Chains A and B, each alone.
Chain A
Amino acid sequence: MNTPPLTIVIADDDEDDRQLFSEALDELKLKTSVYTVKDGVELMDYLSKEETPMPYLLFLDLNMPRKNGLQCLKEIRQSERLKEIVVTIYSTSSSEKDIEETFQSGANGYLKKPNNFGMLKKALHKIVMYAHVYRDPPFNKANFLFKV
């Protein structure tokens, strides 16, 4: 089983969050490689490059400078090349408005940033393992929000 590692992309403007995210994934030992971007513009530049491999999973912060997560999500869903990417929203917000809006715009999951490193690891493990479940429609609203 010499498969290449699964690429997981995280777009988040907070350096601490990016660091903690990468550390959590590393500690899970799931044979994944993490690519981090600092904002929406950088993310879309990275994804639209021809040589970029399709990421297995994309974690998208909502509140980012230059281009926010919701805009990125909409662009991804409208792009013929990128629309199949499994997108999990990764945000501080737990407001109904944000959850509803991202669900309607075609996000596959919603993870509220946990306050505890152990919970972050647990949540990431679950999301990476079950990413394919959320890839195909119809996914349902009931398990859209990941509960940790």
Chain B
Amino acid sequence: MKKNRHSLLEVRLIYVITTIFLVGLSIYLFFQIKNLIDISNWVNHTNQVNQSLQKLSSSLLEAESEHRGYLLSGEAVMLEKRDLALNSLKVEQHLLDSLLKDNPEQIQNLKKLNLAIVEGLVNIKNTSAGKVPEYDKVGSIEEAKKIAYVKHHIEVMRKAENQLLTLRTKDYTQLSFKTPFFLTVLSVCALLMLLVSYFRINTELHNTQNLQHELLFENVEKGKRAAELVIANIELIYENKEKEKRAAELVIANNELVFQNGEKEKRAAELIIANKELVFENEDKEKRAAELVIANVELLFQNGEKEKRAAELVIANKELFFQNGEKEKRAAELVIANKELFFQNGEKEKRAAELVIANKELFFQNGEKEKRASELIVANKELESLNYISSHDLQEPLRSIQMFASRIVGKDYENLTDNGKSYFKKMQNAAVRMQTLLDDLLNYSRTNNEVRKFKRTNLNTIVDEIIADLKETIDEKQATIETIDLPVVDIIPFQFRQLIHNLISNALKFSNSDTPPHIQIKSNVVQGDELESELPSDWPEKGLREAKYCHIVVSDNGIGFEPEYSEKIFEVFQRLHGREKYKGTGMGLAIVKKIVENHNGVITATSELNKGAKFDIYFPFN
């Protein structure tokens, strides 16, 4: 930028100097040209004077000769010609007079000339027509002299003029040579300056253009960079958002992992508790065995006591005998009575001895029963796992049958005869029946096999889920399901779900065709001792009067059943109706019973034909 400013000053200086130079040259040239014009004017002027003098001279000569001609011939025409010549002479005199105003020397000369002309023309002027003077030789000579004198003056003037002319011509030639030279110089200088300016401007313009281009390019570059920055910013914002999202997802994933870990830890803890419970149960069993031993010992001890008492009774009898002796009235009776008592005592002694033997036997039998019970547990478990595995494995070929059957129905059904189609349908139905049978068996064995994990659960949630599952059937049958006061209880959720599901779907299945089913599920908490009368005698928990029980009632307005079947319906594969009328495997209520038992509970069914059915479930509350 500094360099540029410097060159700008330089340029200005050069331009000022050149301009001053050119202006000076132009002024000088102007004066030169003006001089030239002046000089040429003067040359012209001199020429004019010369011409005029010439004309004067010739007019004079003409006037003289015409005059002489008249004198000689007397012709009047000649006099007229003389007058014409005299007139032009006068004109020339006036012209000269005006031309020579600025030249004093020539004015003097002109005055002398004019005097000489006046003198020389006296005779000539005076001669008039009609009277021709005689030729006078002397007069003629005089006349000739006078004319010569005039001519002499003219000649003097001409010489003076010629002298001026030569001087002026010299000046003129000098000037006329100089002027084109200066003009050329001026032109060349101007041209040079023009050229220099042109190149200078051109380069400047070029530079400016380049600079502009550069600026424009830079602007474009900056624009691009700005756009890139904007894009980069947008990308950064987007990346940040992505990162935030990912972070949020990671947080959720972490939460889930934490939750899963928690679940795993819970399960581990539960397993530990289960193990502890097993250990505890084992200990319990050992304790019970020890207690039985103690009980036997006690029985032995009691027998001993009885013997003692018998001995005491003997003493008492003796005392009574003594008293009888004292009391005479009842003596005889007392004797008999005493004898009887004595006999009874003997019997009792016998019985006591028998009891000792019986106790020993019982002790032995208990041991045997425990052995058998543990054997049965092992056998049962084996049976159940066998059941589970076999029904599971049985499903696979059955599924293949069903799949290929559905393939045939989908692709080749039309190729079957009507008879074939009917057989095919029957085959498929049989497969479906087999399928449900296996499913139910699997469910039944599963209720035994699976880990019994109790969890605090809201029964309302379970019922809602089942209603959602069975929605289609419920809508189809226009059934209503009413729930009253369902509690939060400790249950095995998966099994309890199955239980309620089976009861509700049973109620829907065995509904009256003319009235829409109404199912009511209600619950209350009851004290153990209030239940004695209502429960079957074999309920293991019956003795627990102090405990609280949860009582759930599922009742419907369906077809019900005859009271004598109220126990049988809970048995495996028991059906009260033909398969054509009501589908099913006869497993549903067996599963229900098993699940209730898994909850240490009991279930009863009460019904009369066509008066609906009522199922009562009791299990320990929390």
Contact = CB atoms under 8 A, between A and B. Distances in A.
Interface of A: 14, 16-17, 20, 23, 92-93, 95-97, 104, 113-118, 120, 136-138, 140
B404 interface: yes
A96 B450 contact: yes
Given A96-B450, A113-B399, A138 B406 contact: no
- Mostly helix, strand, loop or mixed at chain B's interface? helix
A114 B406 CA distance: 11
Contacts of B407: 20, 23, 117
14 contacts: A14-B396, A17-B400, A20-B404, A23-B407, A93-B392, A96-B450, A97-B450, A104-B264, A115-B402, A115-B406, A116-B403, A138-B252, A138-B255, A140-B256
Contacts, number: 50
A118 B406 contact: yes
A92 B399 contact: yes
A96 B442 CA distance: 12
Contacts of B450: 95-97
Nearest to A136: B249
Q: Which 7 A-B pairs give the minimum distances between C-beta atoms?
A: A117-B406, A115-B402, A138-B256, A16-B400, A137-B253, A116-B406, A138-B253
B598 interface: no
Contact of A115 (B252, B399, B410): B399
Contacts of B435: 115
Contacts of B395: 92
B403 A120 contact: yes
Contact of B403 (A97, A117, A137): A117
B494 A96 contact: yes
Interface of A is mostly: loop
A22 to B, nearest CB: 13
Interface string B382-425: 00000000001001100110111011001000000000000000
Given A16-B403, A117-B403, 8 more contacts: A14-B400, A16-B404, A23-B407, A97-B450, A115-B402, A117-B407, A138-B249, A138-B253
A14 B446 CA distance: 24
Given A14-B400, A115-B403, A92 B256 contact: no
A82 B264 CA distance: 25
Contacts of A92: 392, 395-396, 399
Counting chain B CB atoms within 10 Å of each CB, the highest count among A16, A104, A118 belongs to: A16
B446 A95 contact: yes
A138 B248 CA distance: 11
B427 to A, nearest CB: 14
Interface residues of B, number: 23
A80 B607 CA distance: 63
Interface string B346-385: 0000000000000000000000000000000000000000
A20 B410 CA distance: 13
Contacts of A140: 256
Contacts of A95: 446, 450
A75 B169 CA distance: 130
Contacts of B212: none
A123 B253 CA distance: 27
B202 interface: no
A140 B259 CA distance: 12
Contacts of A115: 399, 402-403, 406, 435
Interface string B244-278: 00000100110110001000100000000000000
Contacts of A120: 403
A104 B264 CA distance: 9
A117 B404 CA distance: 8
Interface centre among B255, B396, B494 (most CB of A within 10 A): B396
A101 to B, nearest CB: 11
Nearest to A97: B450
A120 B399 CA distance: 12
Nearest to A139: B256
Interface in B170-198: none
Contacts of B252: 138
Contacts of B249: 136-138
A121 to B, nearest CB: 9
A12 to B, nearest CB: 11
Contacts of B400: 14, 16-17
A40 B264 CA distance: 26
Given A92-B392, A138-B249, A116 B446 contact: no
Contacts of B396: 14, 92
A93 B438 CA distance: 12
A45 B252 CA distance: 35
Nearest to A120: B403
Interface in B229-256: 249, 252-253, 255-256
A117 B264 CA distance: 37
Contacts of B494: 96
A135 to B, nearest CB: 12
Contacts of A104: 260, 264
A125 to B, nearest CB: 15
A74 B260 CA distance: 16
A23 B446 CA distance: 33
Contacts of A23: 407
A92 B390 CA distance: 13
Residue among A20, A23, A120 with max Cβ neighbours from chain B (10 Å):
A20
A21 B488 CA distance: 44
Contacts of A17: 400
B378 to A, nearest CB: 22
Contact of B410 (A93, A117, A137, A138): A117
B253 A20 contact: no
A137 B402 CA distance: 36
A20 B406 CA distance: 11
A118 B256 contact: no
Interface string B429-443: 000000100000000
B381 to A, nearest CB: 16
A136 B264 CA distance: 21
B123 to A, nearest CB: 141
Contacts of B410: 117-118
* Most chain B CB within a 10 A radius of its CB, from A17, A104, A116, A136: A116
Contacts of B399: 92, 113, 115
